[in-house]
């Protein structure tokens, strides 16, 4: 499972990704991802969102 962080706006630009290891609930993943998106947003001075890639479909889209 991977979390992908992107800049919100007209163009959704990926600014980072994190591969998850271990056993976390969806709620824990969501809470941690929100915290990390907020931290990244403060560092970059932009609004950052996140996507949870549970089945690797985002990887397949970017390899084309």
4 contacts 17 by C-beta, under 8 angstroms: yes
Per-residue confidence (pLDDT) for residue 64, from 0 to 100: 40
Residue 41 in tokens:
């947003």
CB contact burial 18-33 (16+ within 10 A = b; e otherwise) = eebeeeeeeeebeeeb
Task: Record the tokens describing residue 63, joined without a space.
Answer: 């390899």
Alpha-carbon distance of 59 to 22, in angstroms, equals: 20
Digit-coded pLDDT (tens) for 8-62: 988 888 888 888 877 888 899 899 999 999 999 999 999 999 988 877 666 555 5
Which tokens in the block code for residue 13? 């630009």
pLDDT for the residue numbered 36: 93
């Amino acid at each position: 499972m991977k979390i992908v962080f992107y800049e919100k706006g007209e163009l959704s630009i990926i600014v980072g990704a994190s591969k998850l290891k271990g056993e976390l609930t969806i709620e824990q993943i969501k809470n941690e991802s929100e915290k990390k998106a907020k931290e990244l947003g403060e560092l970059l001075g932009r609004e950052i969102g996140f996507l949870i890639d549970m089945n690797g479909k985002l990887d397949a889209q970017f390899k084309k």
